[in-house]
Structure 1
Amino acid sequence: MLSVAIDVGPLHGPRTGVGNAVAWSIDELRRLGAAWGDEHEHGDAEAQPFKVQLLPYLTSMRSRVSPPTRRLPLPAAAAHRLWQRADRPHLDRWLGRPDLVHGTNYVVPPTRCPRLVSVYDCWFLEHPGDASPDVARAGEILRRSIGSGAHVVTSSQATADRLREFVPTDRLDVIHLGPPPVDATPSDAAMPSATPPRFGHLDGASFVVSIGTVERRKNVPSLVRAFGRLAAEHAQARLVVAGRPGDDQAEVDRALADLDPATRARVDTFGQISSEEKRWLLAHATALAYPSLDEGFGFPILEAQQAGVPVVASSAGSIPEVAGTGALLSAPLDTEALAANLHWVLTSDHQRQILIDKGTRNLDRFSWTTTARSYFDLYARLSAP
């Protein structure tokens, strides 16, 4: 049996896009027959061409851990400071002496066996000044790990190409992720039966929604300025910004302050939202705006396409690769072009339907089953003698 130690740290704490990627990948690996920890029962032999045992681990002294998850013997901060300087200490014994170690969140611990590290975007490598000390440290560990032989897997070709500019390597594979599972996305069945109380004024309104942490990479100030440019032509339209505050909140507040009072009154900022509220917003939005400066994959694009919501996005990072023809794209800092694309979607039912239809067809390119099978193949290849 091939054993793979896999980092489940992203499953602990507030769930992020990386956390979802790891959770949904593991769910599908297990569905296709991967054993979990000490379990030895496997699924359909035809569904999985070889046996894999996943050995979950994390580097955290704060998170609550239950078997079969193993806690590495060092606090995360201390471990990362050590791994910045050297590929030691080797942790094979604490990892369960696996055939392969998969670090799912930019960092893979030192071991004597083959190592695989997941990279989702390169924003923190390109903009180190915007990175927190912990994230900057992870970037240094990533460089060291790749330099000492770790194999890389990215979630898009765009990220793979960008990574090679910062850390040249030929030990790299691209494995696309799948769309958010149906029960995690808006649908008539999943939609709340009643409008969430704080969304009452949005019921029946035409609104553009932005969903995600308000961080610099998401480029929300440009969206606010674009809405200011088209607001006069769409006197009833609203803009909804939903996501917990991040490192760009002050710039967003400045962009909002620059709007005239009547337009500012049509912009709603809700902060963090629940999964039920997100379902409601996507089920009722006129369009999803996704003007990011960089993306490693972009789950919200596929969420919107699953919900039948037109997507207006930037052409940065992996967005064209993931959105396919199911989005209107513009350069990430071209506010006028973003405003024009939003105007088109708000004005033309025909254009909205074209984007909805193309978005629905685009979803056929992504599957968690394909993702999991690709991981199985990669695990086997990297572990081969």
Structure 2
Amino acid sequence: MSQPRIALDVSFAKLVGIGVGVYASNIWAALTPLLGDRLVPVCSKFARPPRGARRTFRERLDTLMRDLWWHQAGVTVAARRCGAQLLHLPAGVGPVAGRFPAVTTIHDVMPIRFAPMFRPWYRRYAGFVMPRLARRARAVITVSQTAKQEIAEEFGLAPERISVIPHGVDPAFRPLLPGDPRVPDVRRRYELPEAFVLAVGSIEPRKNLERLLQAISLLRTRPGTRDVTLVHSGPEGWHVDHVAERVRQLGLSGAARFLGYTPAADLQVLYGLARAFVYPSLWEAFGLPVIEAMACGCPVVTSGLSSLPEIAGDAALFVDPHSADDIARGVAAVWEDGARRAVLVQKGLARVRDFTWARAARATIAVYEAALA
């Protein structure tokens, strides 16, 4: 008797620089050698740019809502056609009707719990789709205990229906070797200062960039941190105009550089060059950049809220993300103290050994098997 086939929705795997895209592409890659031809990637017919062309973040957003509604039917049709017995929806959205067996990964309930931080159309879409999909799925995967608790509460799910499977970190994220030839090239292309703190993520309200900028402004008035410069890597998002205005108001045009989306190879170098990585997010289900930074040997200053203490363990310096003064305190402590940086680097490198995509894939297969039983 042949083993059941699993259809994996990879419609979101092409969304580079966005959390669900990172997850979908990495879990796909990790599951493939374990399941072989039992794993069938499927995709709804999303609007695609011409071959070889790249769409900007805003151009993707313009077509995303239409794509999402087409997605409701497309992946089920594709799963049936390939003879699959189970469909994995890794982005927390997908068909809310029908009886085709499904497992879904729901990363968080932020569009529902923190609705003002999201665009109105996406709040409506997520508010309709996510609870219905969660209730009809045979199993729900999420990425942290924090997210599990909120999903269970928000959607009225029994906790045993939700499996926590943390993200892995791409092996490409590792400490720089001495004499790495990419370093001078990255410094030149991005016009990097000699020393800087790095922030990573899309420009949106929950990433708390305006308060981080205020903290940088405070630091630049104090002895010992007058030369602190912020470098930010990540797509524009929908909060970019507010952040740009805040940079102007604080007089930080020469002290805050926004690079836009950077490829993973460049991002690894940025982590390796930064004196500290700062991530004062107001809410995260996981916070993948935290473990990427640790894997690259970069000391981490992050928020003490949501899942971030759970993910970072004792390998980060925690701050109150609602206080610019406290964010400044945390950055200054790492900026000025080489011994503290060294301790955080070593703790971070030890911590990330717990996060691998191979481990995530094995745990995901266990969920598939239970859902098919």
What band does the TM-score fall into relative to the shorter chain? 0.7 to 0.9
Q: Are the equivalent residues in 2 in contact too, given 1:108–1:116 (CA < 8 A)?
A: no
Distance 2:129 2:243 in 1: 32
Q: CA 1:348–1:115 in structure 2 vs 1: closer, same or farther (change >3 Å)? A: same
Q: Are the equivalent residues in 2 in contact too, given 1:216–1:248 (CA < 8 A)?
A: yes
Aligned to 2:32: 30
Query: Secondary structure at the residue paired with 1:358?
Result: helix
Q: Are the equivalent residues in 2 in contact too, given 1:345–1:351 (CA < 8 A)?
A: yes
Correspondent of 1:294 among 283, 289, 312: 283
Summarize deviations over 1:47-106 as a string: whole Å, max 9, x none.
xxxxxx112112224249xxxxxxxxxx983873896xxx99974873534221111111
Structure 1, unpaired ranges of 5+: 37-52, 65-74
**Within the alignment, does 1:126 sit opposite 2:126 as a pair?**
no
**Within the alignment, does 1:327 sit opposite 2:316 as a pair?**
yes
Q: Which moved more, 1:7-16 or 1:216-225?
A: 7-16
Q: CA 1:332–1:344 in structure 2 vs 1: closer, same or farther (change >3 Å)? A: same
Q: CA 1:13–1:310 in structure 2 vs 1: closer, same or farther (change >3 Å)? A: closer
Summarize deviations over 1:324-367 as a string: whole Å, max 9, x none.
11111122212211110111001111111111111111112222
Aligned to 1:108: 94
TM-score by length of 1: 0.83
Distance 2:205 2:11 in 1: 24
Q: Are the equivalent residues in 2 in contact too, given 1:191–1:279 (CA < 8 A)?
A: no
Aligned to 2:54: none
Distance 2:117 2:249 in 1: 24
Q: CA 1:162–1:23 in structure 2 vs 1: closer, same or farther (change >3 Å)? A: same
Query: Secondary structure at the residue paired with 2:365?
Result: helix
Distance 1:178 1:292 in 2: 20
Query: Secondary structure at the residue paired with 2:140?
Result: strand
AA paired with 1:100?
A: L
Q: Are the equivalent residues in 1 in contact too, given 2:11–2:44 (CA < 8 A)?
A: yes
Q: How many residues align?
A: 350
Q: Are the equivalent residues in 1 in contact too, given 2:79–2:87 (CA < 8 A)?
A: no
Q: Are the equivalent residues in 1 in contact too, given 2:112–2:123 (CA < 8 A)?
A: no
TM-score by length of 2: 0.85
How far did residue 216 of structure 1 move? 1.2
How far did residue 14 of structure 1 move? 3.6
Aligned to 2:153: 165
How far did residue 113 of structure 1 move? 3.8
How far did residue 7 of structure 1 move? 0.5
Query: Secondary structure at the residue paired with 1:300?
Result: helix
Aligned to 1:9: 11
Distance 1:35 1:161 in 2: 33
**Within the alignment, does 1:237 sit opposite 2:228 as a pair?**
yes
Q: CA 1:365–1:266 in structure 2 vs 1: closer, same or farther (change >3 Å)? A: same
Aligned to 1:174: 164
Query: Secondary structure at the residue paired with 1:152?
Result: strand
Q: CA 1:101–1:76 in structure 2 vs 1: closer, same or farther (change >3 Å)? A: farther
AA paired with 2:237?
A: G
Distance 2:174 2:111 in 1: 29
Distance 1:256 1:76 in 2: 31
Q: CA 1:224–1:112 in structure 2 vs 1: closer, same or farther (change >3 Å)? A: same
Distance 1:19 1:375 in 2: 17
How far did residue 111 of structure 1 move? 4.3
Structure 2, unpaired ranges of 5+: 50-63
